[in-house]
Structures are given as C-alpha cells and as structure tokens.
Amino acid sequence: MILLPDPGAARFVWELSYSDLAAADMAALQFLYSACCGPLRAFTFIDPTDNMLAWSSDFAKQTWQISSEIKVSSGAQDPEGNNAAFTVTNLGQAPEQISQILAVPASYRYCFSVYALANRTSNITLALAGASAQASKTFVVGPNWARLSFAEKLADPGFTLTVSISLDPGQQVQLYGIQLEPQLAPSRYRPTGQRGGVYPNAHWATDEFVVAAQATNLFSTAFSIETSI
C-alpha cells in the first residue's frame, strides 16, 4: 500500500436535528433545499456554534481593517490570566475604529461581543453595518474586565456585514475575545484562526428532505450539511 495525504479531502460535517418547527420555518428549510437542488448547488452556511470572525486573536492579520491612527500591541494580560489581550490606542483627533467585513446576509440577527478594560474610564462603541443600514451601542469601560455585547437585526437586504469597534480620540483600552455569532446573546468565547464560522461552499449531505408532522403546525426533521476544508 502506498499512502499519501490528500489535503483536499478534509471536510466538516454538521448533523442537525430540529423539532417543534412552525410551518413557516419548515417551509424556509424546504425552499433552501429545493433552491440548491438537494446536494447539487453550494450555499453559505453559518455555524451556529462558532465565532464567525476570522483571526479573532490576531489583529495583525489582513482580514482586519485598522485605522492608521490606531496603534495595536499584543501580549497584555487577558481575563483568563494569559497574555492574549491587545492594547489598543487611538492616537487621532477623531473617533477611529477596527473592523472586519464578512460575506453574509446583513438582515440576520447577530450578537457582537468583546471583553474590554481601561485604566481610566473610556467609551467604546460596537457597531454592525450593512450596505444601507447600521446600528451601534456605546459602552463605558472601566478598570475591571467586562464583556460587552450588542445584538441587533438590521433592515438591510444586502449580503455583506461590517463589524467594528470604535474608540474616542486619545483613548486606550485593552481588548480580548472579540466574537460575532448568529445568536440573541453571546456564548463562550471561541478563538479563531484563518477560518471563522462562515462556510461559503457548504452542501446538503442528503438526497431527500424528510419531514415529520408532530402536531398541528409543528414539524421535525434531521439532516446533514458538509463542506470541504
């Protein structure tokens, strides 16, 4: 036997099971399955259990857009007792930001969160923005680590979403655990590398979409989704 590695053969598989779904929710799943012609066509899948942002623990990567007036240094102590936090300083005369753009529907409900600390009281603004709508929330940060979270659903039909953290002029804060997820509230922080929890080449891993009626207007189903990595 001659065995050779095949990096292109690696894949992720999600096994999903739903119950007590209303007719409208089930119809949405059936519509997507039909639009994809079952496993034939790819679609973008957002892992509901993962951090959508890439390189959440490395602001030096190009996936992050950082204002020229923002200075970032690594190695600060984080709330878990390690040295994975960043010190972020706005050296400019106007509010400046760190941001990341994702190719996902802007109209979903997302929760954006980050741990923050400041030696003196400072303001920090978390924002979500699509092509035609945006929302933000400003927090006061003090000398103790606090997890800031902001959940919003934008009225925006576009397919790009920008998340950003803004600092006022002259402010310095420490940041750790930046996370975006398609949820109502933040879950535990999941550090990411090159890949976040957005998979643009996912496929249905089933040849038929089976639905069971549980009661009036309540349905259940189970299926798998897979993607090559």
For the chain, give every domain's residue range: 10-47+200-228, 65-192
What would you report as the CA-atom Rg of the chain, rounded to the nearest whole angstrom?
Answer: 20
Fold of the CATH domain 65-192 = Jelly Rolls (2.60.120)
In tens, the pLDDT along 125-164 reads: 999 999 999 999 999 999 999 999 999 999 999 999 999 9
Q: In one letter, which amino acid is 148?
A: L
Higher pLDDT among residues 229 and 149, named by residue:
149
In tens, the pLDDT along 162-192 reads: 999 999 999 999 999 999 999 999 999 999 9
Alpha helices in 39-121 (DSSP H): none
Tokens of 170: 């002259």
Query: How much of the chain is in helix, strand and coil states, percent to nearest 5?
Result: 5, 50, 45
| Residue from 11, 170, 18, 157 nearest 94 by CA | 170
Mean of the pLDDT values across residues 102-127? 96
pLDDT at 202: 96
pLDDT reading at 5 higher than 90: no
Q: Which helix (H) or strand (E) holds 25?
A: helix 23-35
